[in-house]
Amino acid sequence: MTGEPGTMEERLADVRRRLALACAARGRAEDEVLVVAVAKGFGPEAVEAAIRAGLRVIGENRVQEAREKIAVCPSSARWHMVGRLQTNKAREAAALFEMIHSVDSTRLLDALSRAMELEGGTKDVLLQVNVAGDSAKAGFSPGDALPAVRAACGMPHIRVRGLMTVPPFTPDPEGARRHFAALRELRDRLAGETGADMPELSMGMSNDYEVAVQEGATMVRLGTALFGARSGGNSWRRRIDAD
């Protein structure tokens, strides 16, 4: 996919306009949807431009890349981990990120729980669910999500706030609709069975966020739509790939 033209302000205005339309189509309020600006591959200047444009939450998919940017970016930014997280990086991730969207195993839940016992306080997490059964994607199977929510409910330092998914890419965003609907239905069922308060649905990326919002997304994770294309000459620190 090619990047959107224009400045960060122009791209964000376009995103906000589309979000407003998607919300209006379902009688939802615009402020029910948080934009997570996924800055992977872009440097601190891009993050600063995003913050100047009014974005508050920055998403990253690698701990090391995030660590380097967090050190130099305005402290007003809040950082969310959206990418695959190795258990041995749980402690650092718990320290760096306000929320972890991509908890995909009970081992990782355990590691985050232990990290927060040492760190103090509680960490907000989302459970990533592979609703499409896509063998290339991380996440709990829908059937494993219930025991995972139950396990998390027994961890005093972990707060499960909802679910996240990354459906298989389809050129037509309508192809993702049933996966977004499935995530919402699974969340409703899990909340009903466990009594857990799970308001958040992190779903929708640049290609399909309008469909995701129509299906109930409360967080959309947008990279390309805000920052432009990652491939090409603008990739920051390409050498960080061993993380």
Ligand X SMILES: *Cc1c(COP(=O)(O)O)cnc(C)c1O
Binding residues for ligand X (CB under 6 A): 38, 40, 61, 82-83, 166, 205-207, 221-225
Helix and strand numbers (H, E) in the chain are: 9, 8
- Contacts by 206-209 with C-beta closer than 8 Å and gap 24+? 206/1, 207/1, 207/169, 207/173, 208/167, 208/170, 208/173, 208/176, 208/180, 209/15, 209/18, 209/19, 209/22
Residue nearest to ligand X (CB): 223
Which residue number, 155 or 214, has a Cβ lying nearer to ligand X? 214
Shortest distance in whole angstroms from residue 229 CB to ligand X: 8
Half-sphere exposure of 184 toward its Cβ, with a 13 Å CA cutoff? 17
Helix, strand and coil percent figures for the chain, each rounded to 5 = 45, 15, 40
**What gap in Å lies between CA 149 and CA 190, rounded to an integer?**
8
Task: Taking the CA atoms of 184, 205, 131 and 34 in sequence, report the sign of the dihedral they define.
Answer: negative
Shortest distance in whole angstroms from residue 195 CB to ligand X: 28
Q: Which two tokens stand for residue 98?
A: 């306000």
Which residue number, 114 or 230, has a Cβ lying nearer to ligand X? 230
